[in-house]
Chains A and B, each alone.
Chain A
Amino acid sequence: MTNLSCTLYAVPGASPGPPFLARRALWWLAFALMLGMLVRPAAAAESTAFEQALGNLATTNFKQKERAVGELLDARHANTRTVLNALLEGNLYYRKDDKRVFIGAAQDTSLRLQDPLTMSDAGIADASDCTKITTNNQLRKALKSALASFDLADPDADVRLAAVNELLRSLDADRVSILRARQSSENNDAVRTAIQTGLAIADLDSADADVRLAAVDQLEGSLNPEAFNRLSASVARADDGSYAEPDENVRNAARAALNAINNWRSFYSTLETLFFGLSLGSVLVLAAIGLAITFGVMGVINMAHGELMMLGAYTTYVIQLLMPQHIGASVLVAIPVAFAVAGGVGVLIERGVMRFLYGRPLETLLATFGVSLVLQQIVRDIFSANNRPVETPAWMAGSLQVNEAFSITYNRLYVVLFMLIVFAILQLVLKKTSLGLKVRAVAQNRAMAKSMGVRTEWVDALTFGLGSGIAGVAGVALSQLTNVGPNLGQSYIIDSFMVVVFGGVGNLWGTLIGGMSLGVVNQALEPYAGAVLAKILVLIALILFIQRRPRGLFPQKGRAAES
């Protein structure tokens, strides 16, 4: 057996690597399927081969590890799958003194070992006596591919779909035959479609023109990138004028299919751009909306606004430190806490500094700039100048795969939704509560509001606190998108002011629509102009826009606003 595989490896051109390993896994699976049962060999020969293969894993050489994985598959041992899984998850160790391989579970500084041969407990070892068997990308890919073939018969359709997609990543004749065998017994639509697409791609290589034609028909409308690549290749004209696809009819069908695919692709890419724009716009709006209150309603040029967002982001970090077991919930908990922290600091700033400066808006700029420097340095002293790692909860990671050409990342999607919720709540507070009424009254006519018994000082503090608190909430969202460090605020302050001014000072709807349109325009330009030029163009457009409409998108109207 060992000899045989040695000769097998010696075959020139059989490059070691994922397809090679997967193929053997597939053969094995095919064999199992043919027998209609999972093989349960207990034979001594297989155990020996398995044991030997295991021993070969005890190395730091990745090439050798790949070979050992191949041997493990060849051994067709009942525990092969468990071992491969353990290797993929980094739970496979070898003892330094005798190079024996174990499945290990880390417990503080020690390891609970399990013998992979018998799956029996092998006692506890000191962690420093064992070496973890590491993997690299190529090895992990091979392992995943090998494990996928085990999953093809999994009762869970999602697992099967993932397995099929894993196999589609590198198709060859063996996989095709496996997929063909699986096709008839597959009862889930999504999985079957995936299999059919894969088979159709394979059929493009058929010698029979009718089969190829049928395959092209099958692929029409498919957004699988591989399908697109193969179809494009088939109609591409080589240097000598010949085509990869010899049959004229098939070529025409392929062109038609490509046309259809291209149409869909450009449709989805427009959707994608729109979503990118909306999500960028949401970030801008979130960053700006607190400012729309402190700056727009109160007239304070709050240069510390960015630092209040930074406080919100750091709050998220601290909350995660406090509840490391519940990362998923930590972000939700952080929202009210960040509101309270940033809002509280905002009230402090208002009571300590701002209240002496009403009616002197430009001086608020100076003072809040000073405050922002101090806040930055405080954070630097507490948390160090380094960025802090804020974890992304599982429910915010990944993307919503609409189809193979269009997916929406969850974190961006949630940010859009989150922004809308924050905006709605803010509108409610300002329009429906007595605080909101007072805020608007003070904004419009301070003296009059005061004479009517509104405690303007109290309203000022709460308004500033509200704006600051919302900045903190925005910081929670930003912590999921970007660095959490002392400079976080600086990178958003300019953009925030632009959004508020573009929308029209004192108008929350203006901020919403302004931020969204700036985001969409920026993203629409980016594919043509690149990220930098797109931003420059947006800035120039903003300058020209303001000179067309000197009071922003939604100016405050009436005689009061004119003077």
Chain B
Amino acid sequence: MRKTKPGGLKQLAAAIALMSAMAAQAADTIKVGVLHSLSGTMAISETTLKDTVLMLIDEQNKKGGVMGKKLEAVVVDPASNWPLFAEKAEQLLVKDKVSVVFGCWTSVSRKSVLPVFEKNNGLLFYPVQYEGEESSKNVFYTGAAPNQQAIPAVDYLMNEVGVKRWVLAGTDYVYPRTTNKILEAYLKAKGVKDEDIMINYTPFGHSNWQRIVADIKKFGSAGKKTGVVSTINGDANVPFYKELGNQKISAEDIPVVAFSVGEEELSGIDTKPLVGHLAAWNYFMSVDTPANAEFIKKWRAFIKNNKRVTNDPMEAHVIGFNMWVKAVEKAKSTEVSKVIDAMVGIEVPNLSGGTAKMLPNHHLTKPVLIGEVRADGQFDTVWQTDGLVPGDAWSDYLPGSKDIEADWVKLKCGNYNTKTLKCSGQNYE
């Protein structure tokens, strides 16, 4: 709050006029909630997404807003604190009465706000690749499901690189656990033996990788081509890759394919030891399309930094935001129920030259790209799926979920059991 300088009544009057004008305008805006951590451990990843949403809102307002109304961002800081996520979500929905929320990164933050969104009939766009096993009426998942990231990546290693021995290394939380469970089942279905799979979990922020990397090296010296599938989260990656480099494990010997390392993370890493290691995403900044070039230009202008990078979750927000705008215009209302109904089937162009379509299970169709890390922190796409892969909320490779289906159009259910013909979870009565 700036104080009005004691410069006379004129200024004061002007200020009052301005404020009342703002108030008048505020009444006529559509509020958009931004629920990303700006402090604490997750600020590293989430601050960028907050800026992305602000840029998208800015762009949209330049185009005249939505349905003739300006958009107004309501930014809060849940501070990487999971209960605070729920509190802030409730504040956005109940107090600020926002029409839509873009937010969350970690699974636990999403799980924390989920009941709040369902209770208050809110609308959340969740932009990060995640473990699946969820489909809520009030959430649209614009990041990748496991079948849009993990399985194609393993296919690539198996078929193109010839990997026979697998290390599944991850941070000990839900996303890696689930992903590895799916991958383990998938690999076994493909005939990989137990002794050729090594699974390892480490705590958040693990920094002493000497032992584990030495173990991977030993595991990889058994005469079969070995690959590492890494679901190691955020901060633990830097020391992991450093240790790999220092113990002279090159990408040619033991390639590591990561699902949580993107351009943003690489911009904080000395990339020399990583060159050649792989990442699987649905978007790379290096993708050579006009839409992407345009987006990068706008982003750099908005953030006033000519070196800032873009990444996959940002693209997810771009897609999600554009879809929401389209859905609102289609429904001619920002009312959440109407927008939810209008969302399914909406198509918007993604940044890699294809089209993202919202599916009845509230997931997207996405291309899958495998890239090798370059020395400059970008990725060379070395492989990509032929077409778009539809996101699968419930994995076909997990015993608990293979019979479950999500369909918010026909079944009106996020977890319909095709065996028992029952819907449990959100719409359970």
* A134 x B242 contact (CB < 8 A): no
* A229 x B214 contact (CB < 8 A): no
Contact of B264 among A226, A386, A401, A487 (CB under 8 A): A386
Contact of A136 among B47, B205, B380 (CB under 8 A): B380
The stretch that binds A, out of B10-18, B36-44, B328-336, B357-365, is B36-44
The stretch that binds A, out of B115-123, B142-150, B266-274, B394-402, is B266-274
* A483 x B268 contact (CB < 8 A): yes
Closest to B223 in A: A229
Contact of A399 among B248, B270, B380 (CB under 8 A): B248
Q: Mark A491-521, 1 if CB is under 8 A from B, else 0.
A: 1000000000000000000000000000000
Minimum CB–CB distance from A225 to chain B (whole Å) comes to: 4
Minimum CB–CB distance from A480 to chain B (whole Å) comes to: 8
Query: Which residues between 244 and 276 of chain B lie within 8 Å of chain A, taking CB atoms?
Result: 245-248, 251-253, 255, 264-265, 267-273, 276
* A398 x B161 contact (CB < 8 A): no
Minimum CB–CB distance from A419 to chain B (whole Å) comes to: 15
Chain A contacts of B345 at CB under 8 A?
Answer: none
* A491 x B202 contact (CB < 8 A): no
* B273 x A397 contact (CB < 8 A): yes
B201 is an interface residue with CB less than 8 A from chain A:
yes
Query: Which residues between 39 and 96 of chain B lie within 8 Å of chain A, taking CB atoms?
Result: 39-41, 43-44, 47-48
Chain A contacts of B267 at CB under 8 A?
Answer: 386, 389
Contact of A523 among B40, B211, B253, B380 (CB under 8 A): B211
Docked Cα-Cα span, A397 to B273, in Å, equals: 9
Q: Mark A418-434, 1 if CB is under 8 A from B, else 0.
A: 00000000000000000
Chain A contacts of B201 at CB under 8 A?
Answer: 530, 532
Q: Mark B168-208, 1 if CB is under 8 A from A, else 0.
A: 00001000000000000000000000000000111101111
Given A140-B276, A389-B268: A62 touches B382 (CB 8 Å cut-off): yes
A249 is an interface residue with CB less than 8 A from chain B:
no
Given A62-B382, A531-B206, A532-B172: A397 touches B43 (CB 8 Å cut-off): no
Chain B contacts of A138 at CB under 8 A?
Answer: 160-161, 252
Minimum CB–CB distance from A172 to chain B (whole Å) comes to: 14
Docked Cα-Cα span, A511 to B200, in Å, equals: 32
A484 is an interface residue with CB less than 8 A from chain B:
yes
* B162 x A17 contact (CB < 8 A): yes
Minimum CB–CB distance from B39 to chain A (whole Å) comes to: 7
Given A399-B248, A482-B207, A535-B203: A389 touches B212 (CB 8 Å cut-off): no
Chain A contacts of B40 at CB under 8 A?
Answer: 487
Query: Which residues between 265 and 285 of chain A lie within 8 Å of chain B, taking CB atoms?
Result: 272-273, 276, 279-280, 283
Chain B contacts of A196 at CB under 8 A?
Answer: none
* A137 x B239 contact (CB < 8 A): no
Minimum CB–CB distance from B378 to chain A (whole Å) comes to: 11
Docked Cα-Cα span, A225 to B249, in Å, equals: 14
Closest to B212 in A: A531
* B208 x A280 contact (CB < 8 A): yes
B403 is an interface residue with CB less than 8 A from chain A:
no
* A491 x B203 contact (CB < 8 A): no
Docked Cα-Cα span, A384 to B305, in Å, equals: 12
Contact of A389 among B160, B208, B271 (CB under 8 A): B271
Query: Which residues between 384 and 399 of chain A lie within 8 Å of chain B, taking CB atoms?
Result: 384-392, 397-399
Chain B contacts of A134 at CB under 8 A?
Answer: 380, 382
* A140 x B252 contact (CB < 8 A): yes
Query: Most B CB atoms within 10 A — which of A138, A483, A532?
Result: A483
Given A229-B223, A411-B242, A481-B239: A385 touches B248 (CB 8 Å cut-off): no
Minimum CB–CB distance from A281 to chain B (whole Å) comes to: 10
Closest to A387 in B: B268
Query: Which residues between 353 and 395 of chain B lie within 8 Å of chain A, taking CB atoms?
Result: 372, 377, 380, 382
Chain A contacts of B212 at CB under 8 A?
Answer: 531
B139 is an interface residue with CB less than 8 A from chain A:
no
Docked Cα-Cα span, A391 to B269, in Å, equals: 8
Chain B contacts of A490 at CB under 8 A?
Answer: 41
Closest to B208 in A: A280
Closest to B237 in A: A483
* B246 x A389 contact (CB < 8 A): no
B210 is an interface residue with CB less than 8 A from chain A:
yes
Query: Which residues between 345 and 391 of chain A lie within 8 Å of chain B, taking CB atoms?
Result: 376-377, 380, 384-391
* B47 x A532 contact (CB < 8 A): no
* A531 x B39 contact (CB < 8 A): no
Q: Mark B209-246, 1 if CB is under 8 A from A, else 0.
A: 01110110010011100000000000100110011011
* B210 x A280 contact (CB < 8 A): yes
Given A225-B221, A526-B211, A532-B172: A409 touches B235 (CB 8 Å cut-off): no
Docked Cα-Cα span, A66 to B92, in Å, equals: 56
Contact of B242 among A141, A280, A481 (CB under 8 A): A481
* A276 x B210 contact (CB < 8 A): yes
* A389 x B269 contact (CB < 8 A): yes
* B246 x A410 contact (CB < 8 A): yes
Chain A contacts of B206 at CB under 8 A?
Answer: 531
Given A387-B238, A482-B238, A483-B238: A137 touches B211 (CB 8 Å cut-off): no
Query: Which residues between 201 and 222 of chain A lie within 8 Å of chain B, taking CB atoms?
Result: none
A527 is an interface residue with CB less than 8 A from chain B:
yes
Closest to B235 in A: A483
* A387 x B44 contact (CB < 8 A): yes
* B276 x A137 contact (CB < 8 A): yes
Docked Cα-Cα span, A491 to B238, in Å, equals: 14
Docked Cα-Cα span, A486 to B208, in Å, equals: 19
Docked Cα-Cα span, A407 to B245, in Å, equals: 13
Minimum CB–CB distance from A233 to chain B (whole Å) comes to: 8
* A397 x B211 contact (CB < 8 A): no
* B242 x A144 contact (CB < 8 A): no
Docked Cα-Cα span, A441 to B4, in Å, equals: 55
* B41 x A484 contact (CB < 8 A): no
Given A389-B270, A398-B246: A485 touches B44 (CB 8 Å cut-off): yes
A412 is an interface residue with CB less than 8 A from chain B:
yes
Given A136-B372, A136-B382: A276 touches B43 (CB 8 Å cut-off): no
Docked Cα-Cα span, A141 to B161, in Å, equals: 11
Closest to A384 in B: B47
Chain A contacts of B377 at CB under 8 A?
Answer: 389
Contact of A491 among B161, B205, B278 (CB under 8 A): B205
Given A399-B247, A527-B211, A530-B201: A141 touches B269 (CB 8 Å cut-off): no
Docked Cα-Cα span, A127 to B115, in Å, equals: 53
Contact of A487 among B200, B208, B235, B251 (CB under 8 A): B235
Closest to B254 in A: A137
Chain A contacts of B252 at CB under 8 A?
Answer: 137-138, 140-141, 144
Query: Most B CB atoms within 10 A — which of A386, A411, A485?
Result: A386
Minimum CB–CB distance from A520 to chain B (whole Å) comes to: 12
* A279 x B211 contact (CB < 8 A): no
Docked Cα-Cα span, A229 to B270, in Å, equals: 35
* B268 x A532 contact (CB < 8 A): no
Chain B contacts of A280 at CB under 8 A?
Answer: 208, 210
Minimum CB–CB distance from B230 to chain A (whole Å) comes to: 15
Chain A contacts of B278 at CB under 8 A?
Answer: 137
Given A140-B252, A392-B242: A385 touches B162 (CB 8 Å cut-off): no
17 CB-based A-B contacts, threshold 8 Å: A62-B382, A225-B222, A225-B223, A226-B223, A386-B48, A387-B238, A387-B269, A392-B242, A397-B245, A397-B273, A398-B248, A483-B238, A487-B40, A487-B41, A491-B207, A527-B211, A532-B203
Given A136-B276, A386-B44, 16 extra CB contacts under 8 A: A138-B160, A144-B252, A389-B268, A397-B245, A398-B246, A398-B248, A399-B246, A411-B242, A412-B210, A483-B238, A484-B268, A487-B235, A491-B205, A491-B207, A523-B211, A535-B203
- The 9 A-B pairs with the shortest beta carbon distances in the complex, nearest first, are A387-B268, A225-B221, A409-B246, A385-B43, A141-B252, A385-B47, A391-B270, A276-B210, A229-B223
B interface with A by C-beta (< 8 Å): 38-41, 43-44, 47-48, 160-162, 172, 200-203, 205-208, 210-212, 214-215, 218, 221-223, 235, 238-239, 242-243, 245-248, 251-253, 255, 264-265, 267-273, 276, 278, 372, 377, 380, 382
